[in-house]
């Protein structure tokens, strides 16, 4: 069966520090991968999605970037964090051509 792993679960980072969040999927090949951000426990905003290695599409302009160095690995990064980057970050995956999307357990990022 397929599983999605996301880490770390919580992270406290100072303003101006770099960020790297990682997400991996097991049990499938060539999945669609997504990064969402959720503010204040409500509303999921799509940040990035990827349909293949090295293929990244950005949905909103921001201080973040994403990369997909391997088929089932998706990384969310920032060179310098802002206070406004605080939030709950969720990775998700779906199979190509299949509707269902499944989420990881999320990373709570607090920028101080």
Partner 1 sequence: GENVEQHPSTLSVQEGDSAVIKCTYSDSASNYFPWYKQELGKGPQLIIDIRSNVGEKKDQRIAVTLNKTAKHFSLHITETQPEDSAVYFCAAKNAGGTSYGKLTFGQGTILTVHP
Q: Taking the complex as a whole, how short is the minimal distance between the CB of residue 18 and partner 1, in angstroms?
A: 24
| C-beta separation of 28 from 72 below 8 A | yes
Q: Taking the complex as a whole, how short is the minimal distance between the CB of residue 99 and partner 1, in angstroms?
A: 4
- Binding site residues, partner 1, CB under 8 A: 6, 32, 34, 41-44, 46, 49, 51, 57, 59, 90, 94, 98-106, 108
Considering beta carbons, is residue 15 or 98 the nearer one to partner 1?
Answer: 98
* SS3 track for the chain: CCEEEEECCEEEECCCCCEEEEEEEECCCCCEEEEEEEECCEEEEEEEEEEECCEEEECCCCCCEEEEEECCEEEEEECCCCHHHCEEEEEEEECCCCCCEEECCCEEEEEC
Q: Taking the complex as a whole, how short is the minimal distance between the CB of residue 78 and partner 1, in angstroms?
A: 21
Q: Taking the complex as a whole, how short is the minimal distance between the CB of residue 77 and partner 1, in angstroms?
A: 20
Considering beta carbons, is residue 51 or 82 the nearer one to partner 1?
Answer: 51
Considering beta carbons, is residue 6 or 78 the nearer one to partner 1?
Answer: 6
């Amino acid at each position: 069966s397929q599983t999605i792993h996301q880490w770390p679960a919580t992270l406290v980072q100072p303003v101006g520090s770099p960020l790297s969040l990682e997400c991996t999927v097991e049990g499938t090949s060539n999945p669609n991968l997504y990064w969402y951000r959720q503010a204040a426990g409500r509303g999921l905003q799509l940040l990035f999605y990827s349909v293949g290695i090295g293929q990244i599409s950005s949905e909103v302009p921001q201080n973040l970037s994403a990369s997909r160095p391997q088929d089932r690995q998706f990384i969310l990064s920032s060179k310098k964090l802002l206070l406004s980057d605080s939030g709950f970050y969720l990775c998700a995956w779906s199979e190509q051509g299949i509707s269902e999307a499944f989420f990881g357990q999320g990373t709570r990022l607090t920028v101080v």
